[in-house]
Chain A
Amino acid sequence: MNQVLTAAPLSHYVLLSSILFSIGVLGVLFRRNAIIIFMCIELMLNAVNLLLAAFSVHHSDPSGQVFVFFIMAVAAAEVAVGLAILIMIYRNTGSINIETLSNIRH
Chain B
Amino acid sequence: MNALISLSVLGIVAMLSEIFNFKKFLYSLILLGLVAAIGVNVMEWGQFQLWYGMMIVDEFTLAFSGVILLTGFLWFLLVADNHQDKAHISDHFAISLFAMAGAIVMVSYNNLSMLFLGIEIVSISMYIMASTQKNDLGSNEAGFKYFLMGAFATGFILFGTALLYGATATFDIQKIGVFVTEHNSELPAIFYAGLILIMVGMAFKISAVPFHWWAPDVYTGSPTLITAFMATIVKTAAFAAFLRLFITCFSGVELFWNQTIMIMAGATILLGNITALLQNDFKRILAFSSVAHAGYMLLAVLAMNNQSGGSLLFYLLAYSISSLSAFAVLLAVANLKGNTNVQSFKGLAKKNPFLAFVVIVAMLSLAGIPPTAGFFAKYYIFTAAIANNYVGLTLVAITGSIVSIFYYFRIVIVMFEGDESTEVTVGSNTKALLVICSVLVILLGLMPDFLIGLLK
Please give the residue numbers on chain A whose beta carbons come within 8 Å of chain B beta carbons, in ascending order: 10, 14, 17, 21, 24-25, 28, 34, 37-38, 41, 44-45, 47-48, 51-52, 54-55, 58-59, 61, 63-64, 66-67, 70-71, 74, 77-78, 81-82, 85-86, 88-89, 92-93, 98, 101-106
Contacts and interface: CB of A to CB of B under 8 A. Distances in A.
A19 to B, nearest CB: 12
Nearest to B128: A81
Contacts of B281: 106
B155 A14 contact: no
A74 B117 contact: yes
B159 A48 contact: yes
Contacts of A54: 166
A52 B154 CA distance: 15
A103 B141 contact: yes
Given A88-B134, A104-B138, 19 more contacts: A44-B152, A47-B159, A55-B162, A55-B166, A59-B166, A63-B170, A63-B171, A64-B162, A66-B113, A74-B120, A74-B154, A81-B147, A85-B143, A89-B140, A89-B141, A92-B135, A101-B140, A102-B141, A103-B137
Contact of A70 (B117, B127, B148): B117
B190 interface: yes
A52 B165 contact: yes
Interface residue tally on B, bucketed by range: 35 or more
A64 B166 CA distance: 9
A93 B141 CA distance: 11
A85 B155 contact: no
B23 interface: no
B117 A85 contact: no
Interface string B131-174: 10011011011111101100110110011011101100111000
Classify the interface of chain B: helix, strand, loop or mixed.
Answer: helix
A48 B137 CA distance: 34
A106 B220 CA distance: 10
B158 A104 contact: no
A85 B217 contact: no
Question: Which 6 residue pairs of A and B lie closest in terms of their CB atoms, listed nearest first?
Answer: A44-B155, A55-B166, A59-B169, A48-B158, A51-B162, A101-B141
Contacts of B145: 101
A67 B112 CA distance: 9
Contact of A45 (B124, B128, B158, B221): B158
Contacts of A34: 144, 148
Contacts of B220: 104, 106
Contacts of A41: 148, 151-152, 155
A51 B113 contact: no
A68 to B, nearest CB: 9
Interface in B215-256: 217, 220-221
B116 A45 contact: no
A64 B165 contact: yes
23 contacts: A17-B159, A24-B155, A37-B148, A38-B148, A44-B155, A47-B159, A52-B165, A54-B166, A55-B162, A59-B166, A61-B170, A64-B165, A71-B116, A77-B124, A82-B127, A82-B147, A85-B143, A85-B144, A89-B141, A93-B140, A98-B148, A102-B141, A103-B138
